[in-house]
Amino acid sequence: MPGTLRHFLDAIKFEHTVFALPFAYVAMVLAADGWPGWRVAIWVTLAMAGARTLAMSVNRFADRLIDANNPRTAGRHLPQGLLKPWHMLAAAILSAALLALSAWKLNPLCFKLAPWAALFLIGYSYTKRFTWASHWILGFTDGIAAAGGWIAVRGAFDPPAFVLWFALTVWIAGFDLIYACQDVEVDRRVGLKSFPARFGIAAALRAAQACHVLTIAAFAALGVMTGLGWIYWVGVVVVAGLLIYEHSLVSPDDLSRLDIAFFNVNGYIAIILFAAVVGGRLA
């Protein structure tokens, strides 16, 4: 069992929860105008863990045959037989239950919206089979973290929640566009409709740049709307610099440093923005 659990956590890249979890915390801090309290923080954290595990379990299950035919992903745990499909299905059921319980413990609106969140968490893995807009659907799905963090505190939506949701949507979509560039040939061969497969790598990188310009614009709008102090604006400048650096690592003719762009830089961005919001609230 310890070996199976280790394989499972590696398969779903549990450590990459860092991409969305800080934005749930950002929303909590802004909605509460400070610390929201341990009860809310703990249940939001559990809801996020359940949501991401649900999404990744379904993703690995849904893509297991595609992964087996892609040299880049053929070594993943399901194609290699290190995990069974039922492992992922069982994890998805347990994760959905954790998400539902956490939403119920937060407030009625969170609980009412949890099934809709689960629909996107389960469904986004299948969207690349019929639309090249799947990257933005993934971003929208991850953006639920920000909306959820906000309504967990206030029990209602407010304009800053939508701005933060939009920022997360275009940020995630932008780096997913970059990441998808490495699978263009496989996507075309198996009939997947990613944006790079449909329009080419150069167009995908330009679309990613546009998404990240919108990301910075949304972060700026959020700072104005919530009256965050100078520390926040320093953080936004640093994030803008990291995004520029991220795009400098890749080109249509050279994707060799793509993993650095995808994992390291974007992990830093999420943490820096959370620290900037906390600092900006205190400044």
Residue owning tokens 């998808």? 180
The tokens of 179 are what?
A: 């990441």
Helix (H, G, I), strand (E, B) or coil at 197: helix
How far is it, in rounded angstroms, from Cα 211 to Cα 39? 35
User: How far is Cα 142 from Cα 51, in angstroms, rounded to an integer?
Assistant: 9
What pLDDT is attached to residue 4?
Answer: 81
Helix then strand count (H, E) for the chain reads: 15, 0
What is the C-alpha to C-alpha distance for residues 99 and 158, in angstroms, rounded to an integer? 22
What are the distances in angstroms from CA 78 to CA 1, 63, 93? 16, 9, 18
Angle at the Cα of 125 (from 169 to 96), degrees rounded to 5?
90
pLDDT given at position 15:
61
| pLDDT attached to residue 257 | 84
Q: What distance in Å separates the CA atoms of residue 140 and residue 124, rounded to the nearest whole number? A: 10
How would you write the pLDDT of the chain (283 residues) with one tens digit per residue?
567 878 887 777 766 666 678 999 999 999 999 899 999 999 999 999 999 999 999 999 999 999 898 988 889 888 998 889 999 999 999 999 999 999 999 999 999 999 999 999 999 999 999 999 999 999 999 999 999 999 999 999 999 999 999 999 999 999 999 999 999 999 999 899 999 999 999 999 999 999 999 999 999 999 999 999 999 999 999 999 999 999 998 999 988 888 776 777 888 898 999 999 999 987 6
- The residue with tokens 């993703």 is 59
pLDDT at 281: 86
216 contacts 174 by C-beta, under 8 angstroms: no
- pTM here is 0.92
Supply angle C-alpha 64, 66, 68, rounded to 5.
70
Q: Which CATH class is domain 2-282?
A: mainly alpha
Q: What is the pLDDT of residue 14?
A: 65
| SS3 (DSSP) at 203 | helix
Write down the pLDDT at residue 72: 86
